Chain A
């Protein structure tokens, strides 16, 4: 019967055809061991695909991973997390400070408010600096030159704020007759300069400067508005930190075009160009001007003291010749698009980037892989690997299988696998603390969280070590404050809160909470009852939620919990400050700027200080840290701030996670030793735990190498 035969034969043939394809496929052995090219390739995996390979436009991790290989910044962090020159060979930070001559103020040295006399006064003070207290003398010694700027007339156009009755704001012309101004060039940045100068010039010299009388508006406006504007246009004092980079000569982009200061300027302008919608705008907002001094020298002036700004120059530098207005216009015309609407965001550059990093872009297959080739003309010498490949594998188990099979060279181990993999003889493993921490935050606007004793008691009732042991499989550490644990800013002298439920009860009793008949804690007849929330989709936070609820219930607190979808959690609860307590985590940058998360001015809805932490001294320190350019001083301020935050316990700081990565054991560092011979060394992580720091020197060897300087 033909139908019957047909029905049986067709699937049989299809299945046989599919199965025989097995015979054609190379095995893992053929791919990894039998293929000599494989030793020159480094293959890594990413869970997600990159978006735009342009450091100005993208900020996600997969894109950054590739960008860090293709592009190079002016500086980066060295093994000790200090700045290190890359495209810049050296840099200098100093300050230009300005203040307006205040003819109203009484100067302690003589009556005459003559401007020249003022300059002479400062010059004399500088000469006799030893006569002043050491702090003042320090500031005076930093002054390198005193320049008198003559009065200056100008016109400024300001816009009135839109009101309900008048939605379209009016522009107002303002005439400014600025008085004489004194410019001080300092050898280094000094945030206390004006405080110290007021010892010489009089305590109220800067505070009594009244800018309102130097400005007149063309059309009538409110007095208060005018005086606010006057303060903006004519600030009594101004700090302008200056950063001068000396750039590395003979550096080339991948297309052979030489790198120079214009590329740096262009990168800055690209970020600030509103058409590009760069997510990095806020980093560069404090920049006042960028000026090319010569092809290898660039000068950046800042509007105000803002020390984290230096780290922003680690950002990859774009090639101007491929992306400037002319090049974009040409590209738009070639694609038949409107040149006016065409911006860097649309350019094909974002899918085939050109930078001056150690690897050149080769190919990007969406959701499959991105491959890079070694750049032979890299200024530090080409990397040992000939190819760098990032495969996009969205599933962890498949990543793991590919790693075992040898088609991936590294794998990021999950906490529960650490025990199994850390001593596996086939691999070398690295681990370190991550830059983010998990915490329980309390809404300090709502009683009883306004009482530090309550917050502290809640923290003491939770056994963090148990969370680390059982939820994180031991892959975590205690943390006591908001700084990155492996930086100097972190104050290691602060002990973590002890696990002490009895002590917690005592503290709660001090705050007025007593156990009632049913065993619940209550104050004035009201039970201690609140809801702890977090976002769904994060198993660790969910576990913390349950553990905290259980721990608190055991000491008699009636805690409810709730899991919310991420965007509901953020928009409806966190942004609107509609919560009692929450479990959340922060990722921290290395720079110790805590302004947005901890300053009291950031406590409004939709801002990031959602727990409403307010502390006067903390505010001062946060500002001082931002303004301080001296590392040692910054560290001292950070330690004090850390202490205050640990004391106030606005968060119960829980833990910082640890990461672990495994690498094929045959990946080693190949370098030329002092005697000129080839040297193979085991990869060692830096003090801060970064094992990829020497990546450009890595190579895979066919067998375990015999040449060793240190034992394997």
Chain B
């Protein structure tokens, strides 16, 4: 057990190092320069471009830049080129903004997928199953941004309430329950949108897992014993069907930092995804690389966590 944890930490550190090197190279080898260095602006003389490059260490060899970057990252001194704000502080602020979206979206995905998928499996081939399948594929196929626009237009024209941003603009000093509920309302549509594709995919997955388990001998035995159908489905079948989902739980961890570029942009949500996207457009290397590094850490931590979870829930696995 401990040797497994130790080995896995060493392996993951090595992977992380390679990820850091590769992502650094990709970003620096991609064409384009920070938006502060604008060669098409007649006001930019070559001396100024040079001065900016020196300031950002872009005139140094790549390996020196690499060392500088990670030194600054680990000492927490790294600042964004765009506005000289500390990158870690910016990421933390955005993380807190994206977190509610993530939590509500995940809650919706995971709580809705199970009842929908289980029912489909139990009444396999029925009207419910067919329509659930139809809607799943519909939701998977609709482009997110299109769906978002349709929803915004519908809600705004039908209900005349704001849906943009994290809170209603100009709420001012309303009492706190109003402020709180206002925030919840603003969470509803973007997180529901974020969850749709997840629900569609995950409920399909639940259905197929259930079907597989329902065909097992022990389920037939349980039915043959004369147990009530609910007990067969929800106790004997579901428990075993749940196993693969435990591992998936670890993998949602990276979603914490990814955010959603499209939904955050459409809803003017000041989250992580939007910040990372704008940083990429402006070639703000410190932000891009830090986000990249943190998400690599989370991916590795997520896989590690799911390994551990499997160990806990599946008694057949021993290390």
Contact = CB atoms under 8 A, between A and B. Distances in A.
A289 to B, nearest CB: 21
A26 B178 CA distance: 9
A700 to B, nearest CB: 14
A395 B152 CA distance: 12
Interface string B30-54: 0111001001111111101001100
Interface stretch (A72-80, A274-282, A459-467): A274-282
A36 to B, nearest CB: 12
Interface string B265-279: 111101000110010
Contacts of B104: 18
Contact of B234 (A3, A28, A345): A3
B274 A571 contact: no
A27 B155 CA distance: 11
Contacts of B230: 1, 4
Contact of B39 (A24, A274, A395, A570): A570
B20 to A, nearest CB: 24
A401 interface: yes
Contacts of A597: 42
Nearest to A607: B46
Interface string B166-206: 10111110100110011011011000100000000000000
A282 B270 CA distance: 35
A1 B41 CA distance: 70
Interface string B282-304: 00000000000000000000000
B161 interface: yes
A11 B112 contact: yes
Interface string A553-567: 000000000000111
Contact of B83 (A10, A52, A394, A401): A52
A391 B234 contact: no
Given A3-B234, A22-B161, A35-B170, A395 B43 contact: no
A393 interface: yes
A706 interface: no
Contact of A11 (B31, B108, B162, B174): B108
B96 to A, nearest CB: 12
A283 B39 contact: no
A310 B233 CA distance: 83
Contacts of B161: 22, 25-28
Given A22-B161, A27-B160, A28-B161, A398 B108 contact: no
Given A22-B161, A277-B51, A568-B31, A283 B43 contact: yes
A10 B111 contact: yes
A606 B41 CA distance: 11
B272 to A, nearest CB: 11
A366 B275 CA distance: 10
A103 B265 CA distance: 73
Interface in A95-134: none
A394 B265 contact: yes
B185 A565 contact: no
A26 B171 contact: yes
Contact of A398 (B36, B51, B267): B267
A712 interface: no
Nearest to A595: B42
18 contacts: A3-B235, A7-B111, A17-B184, A21-B181, A22-B159, A22-B188, A24-B178, A26-B161, A26-B162, A26-B171, A28-B160, A51-B83, A279-B48, A351-B83, A367-B270, A402-B164, A405-B156, A407-B170
Given A26-B182, A405-B162, 10 more contacts: A17-B184, A22-B188, A25-B162, A31-B168, A281-B48, A367-B274, A367-B275, A394-B265, A405-B156, A575-B39
Interface of A: 1, 3-4, 7-8, 10-11, 14-15, 17-29, 31, 35, 37-38, 41, 43, 48-49, 51-52, 59, 274, 277, 279-283, 285, 345-346, 350-351, 365-369, 391-395, 397-398, 401-402, 404-405, 407, 565-568, 570-572, 574-575, 596-597, 606, 608
